[in-house]
Every structure is written in structure tokens, then in C-alpha cells.
Amino acid sequence: MSGLLELRWSQSPATASMDAMHVTVLGLGHLGAAIAARLADRNHHVTTWTRSGGGTAATAPDAVRDAEVVLLCLYDAAACRAVLDTVRTRLPVEAVVVNTATVGPDEAVELAALAPRILHAPVLGSTGAVAAGTLTFLAGGAPGPAAAVLADLGTVVDCGTPATAAAAKLVANGVLADALLTVRAARTRAAALDLPPHLALDVLERTALGGLVRAKRDRLEAPDATPADFAASALAKDVALLAGALAPGSDIAGLLTPAHADPAVLAPLRDYAAGHATGDASYHRRAFLPTAHVEGLREGRFTSWTLEEYCALFTGSPAPDEPTRRRRVDRVDVTGSTGTATMTLHHGPDVFTDSFALLRVDGAWRIANKTYHRA
């Protein structure tokens, strides 16, 4: 890829916007919520809407009614397509839609054709970069009237076309994925050499990967100290080869933690986490043996569910607070064809410790039974 250049009109992030605009942010996940807050602080008139509720507008068409710039901060191409189908006939004639979603090149071209003035511009950076005004937009076209808004969020790299911008983002996330796995491998080597974890991180901060380690060090030393700013499931969507190593909803710092378990043993635990993250019980049916039971205390009373009774608890949709939920695998032990594992799940005010009995049946690992403690 060639011809990438930084547009000269991008202003310093430290300079407040002189041209307040009516901006709509559609999607209030990690990125969207941070962008809305940043633009409000820069004196833009910000309207928000999210599919799970909680925005300042009741509906997406209401949200875009007076917009000059609409920022799509959505998860994937399907979400972008659904929202654009809802709002495109209600967009003001001069409104510019800036799509920040990470999608494939073909998807970017398709989405750019859904409305007259769409700029495909995925971003490099997360919530910290938004707050500092140092995002990078990989723009597949000219920003036009959106230039002042993007300048209040960071800088723009001209990638020429939507397809090229989408490809550039995938290349960038591939580099991030490679770096994460390199740090993870280094921590595994350090543990094997009995190097104290804090000293290993001190050393890694002084290597070429220092910026990444510094940015994630608080989570590496105290994983529960702060919520995720970039969910591992989002990176898994962008880099399919990493999907087998990720737990939906956990911060990407989890990738920097040494792995001690065979990925095949972790497979049912990933499906279990995915079932919680999506509300789709089919993940649980794949994770558990059909004879499995889920047992624990609810409000002080012993409860035992069959697998189907447990699956009936899931609605098919993520929980409203899913963006703030966190899950991690704490321990996995294997002996021959049997194993045990524990997982911690932070679901709103509740913290669950789940204990699993694992069995390898017909060459695949499954959860035989689960018990849990709710705090």
C-alpha cells in the first residue's frame, strides 16, 4: 500500500474547536461514548443514540435529524448496515457520515454506497487516545465538512478509497496482534526462567514493545483494577487467527498473560464466555456435555439446572451492560483426559467464580459440570 499522507488541515488536539457543529454519535460502546464526551468538551452540539438504549435521542432517525456530521461507532458491518438502513432517508442533505467501524474491504465499499456522503474512516487508538485528541483516522476519501470534527479527535491519514482504508486498519490490527503475542511469549519465557513478574515487565518496558507494555501495565499487574478499553472479542473479529485465544469481553491485556493450557482445553471455556457475551445458548450447548449440570446457591438456596434448563435462561441477546462486563480464565489443570478450570466473571455488581469439571470425549474437550459462587 502506498500514498499514505497526513492531511495538512488537521489542527493541534490542544486547540479548542472554533467551529461548533451539530454532531450525532450512533453507538455508545467504549469508542463511541469516549468520542461523544470529547466532542461535547470541545463545544460541539452532540446528540447520541445506541441500540441498547441510554442515548440522548429516542431513535436513530431522531438522532440524525439536525446532524451536520454523523459518526458511526458500531461493532461490525452488519450493525452498520442495519443502522444506515434506518437513518439514510432521514439524513439532512448536507450531512456527512463518518463510519469508524472495522470491516473488510468489500464491506467498506458496500457500506459507502448506502448513503450519498459517507466517509469510511476506521481509527487507530482507543479511549485514551480519544481523551487526548490523538486518534488516527484512516480515511477512505475526503472528510469535507467533517474535517473540523475529526481534527478535534486527532489526525487523518488519507488512504484514498474505502477499501484501502479498511485494508489499512486490518494491517494495523494485525501488527497489534503480533505484538501482543510477542509480549505474551516473552512473559512465558520470563516465568520459565524464574524472573519475577514485576522485573520482567520493567525489562519489557525498555524494549521495542515498551509502549504497549506501559499502556497495559496497570491491567497486567491488577487485571480487575480498571475496565477494558479495547475488548479482546473486538480484536478477534478483526484478526480471525486470534479468535481461538480470546474470551469475549475481556481486555486485550489478557493476550499478554502467559498461556499454560492447551488451546483445545480452553475451547469450551471460550464458548462458555461467548454464550454469556452474546446471550446465545448455542455456545453453551457446544461447551457442555448434554448430561451436564450447573449447580450453586441462589439467594441462599441450592439450585441445580440441567443443561437445557440453564440454556433457557439466555435470551439470544447480549445483556444491556455487556460492554462493561469482564471475564477471565484463572486456572486450568489437566491430567490425561480430565481437567478442572476456574473462571471469574464480573457481571454488573455481581462477581461469579465458576468451577468446571472438564472431560475429553471423542477427541474434544467439554464441560462435564459447573458449580459457581456468587458474590
Q: What are phi and psi of 257, to 5 degrees?
A: -90, 135
Q: In what order do the strands lie in the sheet with 22-26?
A: 45-49, 22-26, 69-72, 96-99, 118-120
Inter-CA distances, 8 with 147, 148, 244, 269, Å: 11, 12, 41, 48
Provide the sign of the torsion angle of the four alpha carbons 120, 121, 127, 133, taken in this order: negative
Q: What are phi and psi of 142, to 5 degrees?
A: -85, 130
Residue of 107, 23, 37 whose CA lies nearest to 72:
23
Residue of 320, 370, 308 whose CA lies nearest to 342:
370
**Gyration radius of the chain over CA positions:** 22
What pLDDT score was predicted for residue 188? Answer: 83
Residue 1 pLDDT class (50, 70, 90 cuts): very low
User: Residue 129 above 50 pLDDT?
Assistant: yes
User: Residue 41 above 80 pLDDT?
Assistant: yes
What pLDDT score was predicted for residue 177? Answer: 78
Residue 225 pLDDT class (50, 70, 90 cuts): low
By CB atoms closer than 10 A (0-12, 13-18, 19+), residue 110 is: middle
Inter-CA distances, 278 with 81, 316, 325, Å: 19, 7, 12
Residue 9 pLDDT class (50, 70, 90 cuts): very low
Cα separation, 59 vs 139, in Å, equals 28
By CB atoms closer than 10 A (0-12, 13-18, 19+), residue 248 is: buried
What pLDDT score was predicted for residue 13? Answer: 40
User: Residue 241 above 80 pLDDT?
Assistant: no
Residue of 192, 180, 340 whose CA lies nearest to 265:
340
What pLDDT score was predicted for residue 11? Answer: 35
Give the three-class secondary structure for 276: helix
Q: What is the DSSP string of 31-96?
A: HHHHHHHHHHHTT-EEEEE-TTS-SSSSSHHHHHTT-SEEEE--SSHHHHHHHHHHHGGGS-TT-E
What pLDDT score was predicted for residue 181? Answer: 79
Q: Are 28 and 54 in contact (CB under 8 A)?
A: yes
Residue 242 pLDDT class (50, 70, 90 cuts): very low
What pLDDT score was predicted for residue 7? Answer: 28
**What percent of the chain shows pLDDT beyond 90?**
53
Q: Are 271 and 260 in contact (CB under 8 A)?
A: no
Residue 282 pLDDT class (50, 70, 90 cuts): very high
**What percent of the chain shows pLDDT beyond 70?**
85
The whole-chain average pLDDT of the chain stands at 85
Residue 65 pLDDT class (50, 70, 90 cuts): very high
Q: What would the mean pLDDT of 257-266 be, rounded to a whole number?
A: 67
DSSP designation for 253: G
